[in-house]
Structure 1
Amino acid sequence: MLKGMDPRLSPEVLYLLARMGHGDSVAVVDANYPAYSMGVPVLRMDGLDAAQAVEVITSVMPLDRFVEHPVRYMVDKPGEPLREAARAVMEAAEKAEGRTIDGGGLERMAFYDEGRKTQGIIVTAETRSYGDFLLTKGTWPEFDPD
């Protein structure tokens, strides 16, 4: 156990996040995502839904301020309203960052293509539909490009 560290962060997840550089991405996915066929490391955060996992991850990992969408999520069709899981994840990310986050939707196959480019995939116990997210790491201490 580490002081000041959320105990839901496993050593493996901490290692993955610490190895990432700014601009690298990690996927946080639902229980139905084909994670093991993506060809990148797979870690698990069983017992947490996607929003809880993002809350824990963003407690130690800053989100990128230089990209248009530091949080991207799977959608059925471009421009559709946010689904329940996406709303919860965006709220968790904004709370952790203390700022408004502009999320972006990716159609399923495009999301899978991007998932293959991540530093790792974290599988959660999320069961709500389209509970799949890509988080882009920023820098710390924060550098505001504006």
Structure 2
Amino acid sequence: MLKGVPSIISPDLLKALAEMGHGDEIVLVDANFPAASNAKRLIRLDGVAMPELLQAVLQLIPLDPYVATPAVLMQVVDGDLPPAIWETYRRVIEAEAGGVVVSHIARADFYERSRAAYAVVATGEQSPYGNIVLKKGVVS
């Protein structure tokens, strides 16, 4: 047990966050994302909701201030509506990392980026398009 670490953060996730360096990316994905086939390091947090996990992760790592958008969402496919959870993500990011711009990339590009990421964290989030890439900054 450690002091100051949110209880939602598993030992495997804590290790991955500590090992990541400046510019490394971690991808938090919803329950429908093909995580096992798109991750070189897979961390499972089944049953965990994304907003709470996003808040906990951002309490432990800074986002990279040297890139235009250190937080990236998967763009919706034509005909789909943007999910309501995105507004929740924006509020969490604003509260934990103020002023960060969130961008969107195409689904295929998101999959490619997740394959290159340091780790992918599979959650129990049920919201469609509930996936987000976070680029770690420098801990000062």
Output the TM-score relative to the length of structure 2: 0.92
Q: Is the partner of 2:44 in helix, strand or coil?
A: strand
1:45/1:53 contact within 8 Å kept: no
Q: Which residue of 1 aligns with 2:26?
A: 26
Where does structure 1 lack aligned partners over 5 or more consecutive residues? 142-146
Matches of 1:103 and 1:81, distance apart in 2: 17
Residue 68 of structure 1 pairs with residue 68 of structure 2: yes
User: What is the aligned partner in structure 2 of residue 17 from structure 1?
Assistant: 17
Structure 2 match to 1:144: none
| Conservation of the 8 A alpha-carbon contact between 2:32 and 2:128 | no
Query: Which amino acid counterpart does residue 33 of structure 2 have in structure 1?
Result: Y
**Aligned: 1:123 with 2:122:** yes
| Shift, 1:39, TM fit | 4.1
Query: Are 1:100 and 2:99 counterparts?
Result: yes
SS at match of 2:72: strand
Specify the SS of the correspondent of 2:87: helix
- In structure 2, the partner of 1:40 is 40
CA apart distance, 1:46: 2.5
Q: Distance in 1 between matches of 2:62 and 2:39?
A: 25
Number of aligned positions between the proteins: 139
The runs of 5 or more residues in structure 2 that have no matched partner are none
Against the structure 1 CA distance between its residues 51 and 94, is the aligned structure 2 distance closer, same or farther, given a 3 Å change threshold? Answer: same
User: Which residue identity is paired with 2:116?
Assistant: K
87-96 or 101-110: bigger deviation: 87-96
Give me the CA root mean square deviation. 1.7
TM-score by length of structure 1 reads: 0.88
Aligned residue for 1:47, secondary structure, equals: coil
Deviations along 1:45-90, one digit per CA (max 9) or x if unpaired, are 2232221111011110111101111100001259x98531222112
Output the CA distance in 1 between the equivalents of 2:81 and 2:137: 26
Instruction: Write out the 4+ residue segments of structure 1 that deviate beyond 3 Å after TM superposition.
Output: none
Q: What does residue 109 of structure 1 align with? A: 108
1:140 to partner: Cα distance: 1.3
SS at match of 1:116: helix
